[in-house]
Amino acid sequence: MKTYAIYLAKRLLQFVLVVFIGINLTYVISHATPIDPVEQTISALTSFGNTSPEAIETMRESLRELYGMSGTPLEQYVSFWSRIVVGDFGPSLSAFPTPVSELILRALPWTIGLLVVATVLAWLLGNLLGGLAGYYRKNRLLKAMGLIAMGLHPMPYYVVAFVLLVVFGFLWPVLPISGGSGIGVGRGFSFDFISSVLLHSLLPALSLVVVGLGGWFLGMRALVSNIVTEDYVVYAELGGVDRRRILTSYVMRNALVPQVTGLAMSLGAIFTGAIITEEVFGYPGIGSLLVDAVHAGDYSLVLGITSVSIVAVSLAVLVIDLLYPLLDPRVQVE
């Protein structure tokens, strides 16, 4: 139990560190650059028609206040952190006066739903097939899958999503290519709504799974083909243990441990992939919100999404880390 407590403390510390460094990074980027977001916003606002100098001055003052750009650098830094801690990023400029946090909360369930389903699916399928491919090396079908995985794995999320969009949007239009649910389908707990949501999530989820699957497949195959040569596996084979049992509880069980660590490590990249995919398919999640916010010049919203993304991803990594001892008993025993 004591080792688990130490493990827990270490993970929590790492979580705090990730949030600390990540948020500081956003602070440095948003404050230490030569370009002033206040002037940016003002020039965007005043580019249509004439505005009196007094009005611009008032605007500048209130924007400085709003963006936390007033006062000494230290005051700015403190106010930046206090806003993050309570999750208050001020009102959104493009959807004034809706608070940024409300916009993010509205988009977050879409992203999380898509991300969780696609990641779990890709991870499970990739590991299962990769494990089989590592164990049954002669199987033609699994060899062919390895080749396909090799071709798909290096593709960035955007390219895969884009190709799928072209295929299912222009060449063979059978699936909805944009939006989160059908137009005119009432929201609520109805069959129509749920099936529409599932149908719309099919292509984004597919592109996430297609990219993710290859990586887990190749990783698991390499791990398994190394474990197969270990003495204890040879011994089990000589001892007449059932082949299927060797594969599941002798080989795959051990290979899963680094794969879980890998999942925690690559969660940030997967999240990046999810928000890019969302943008391609116009899925109403964080990604689309972020891109729209940039185009609308909405400083608070961009800053809010960046901060929330960092906290959300590191929280998810923490959850995986906390579940890790279930899989690897070495963490619990001395």
| Footprint of another protein (CB under 8 A) | 13-14, 17-18, 21-22, 25-26, 29-30, 33-35, 37, 40, 137, 150-151, 153-159, 162-163, 166, 170, 222, 225-226, 228-229, 264-265, 267-269, 271-272, 275-276, 279, 290-291, 294, 299, 302-303, 305-306, 309-310, 313-314, 317
Q: Is 333 left (phi over 0), alpha (psi -120 to 50) or beta?
A: beta
CA atoms of 55 and 118, how far apart (whole Å) = 49
Residue 29: helix, strand or coil by DSSP? helix
Closer to another protein by CB, 157 or 216: give it. 157
Least distance CB 313 / another protein (angstroms)? 5
Least distance CB 11 / another protein (angstroms)? 11
Least distance CB 309 / another protein (angstroms)? 5
Least distance CB 107 / another protein (angstroms)? 13
The DSSP secondary-structure symbol of 283 reads: -
The closest alpha carbon to 124, from 284, 259, 7, 27, belongs to: 259
The closest alpha carbon to 208, from 119, 332, 130, 294, belongs to: 119
Closer to another protein by CB, 22 or 90: give it. 22
Residue 110, φ and ψ in degrees, nearest 5: -60, -50
Closer to another protein by CB, 40 or 51: give it. 40
Least distance CB 300 / another protein (angstroms)? 11
CA atoms of 247 and 241, how far apart (whole Å) = 10
Residue 45, φ and ψ in degrees, nearest 5: -75, -35
Q: HSE, CB side, 13 Å, CA atoms: give it for residue 121.
A: 14
Closer to another protein by CB, 70 or 225: give it. 225
Q: HSE, CB side, 13 Å, CA atoms: give it for residue 262.
A: 17
Closer to another protein by CB, 206 or 313: give it. 313
CB of 42 closer than 8 Å to CB of 333: no
Closer to another protein by CB, 94 or 193: give it. 94
CB of 168 closer than 8 Å to CB of 175: yes
Least distance CB 146 / another protein (angstroms)? 11
Least distance CB 117 / another protein (angstroms)? 18
Closer to another protein by CB, 196 or 277: give it. 277
Residue 101: helix, strand or coil by DSSP? helix
Residues in the chain: 334
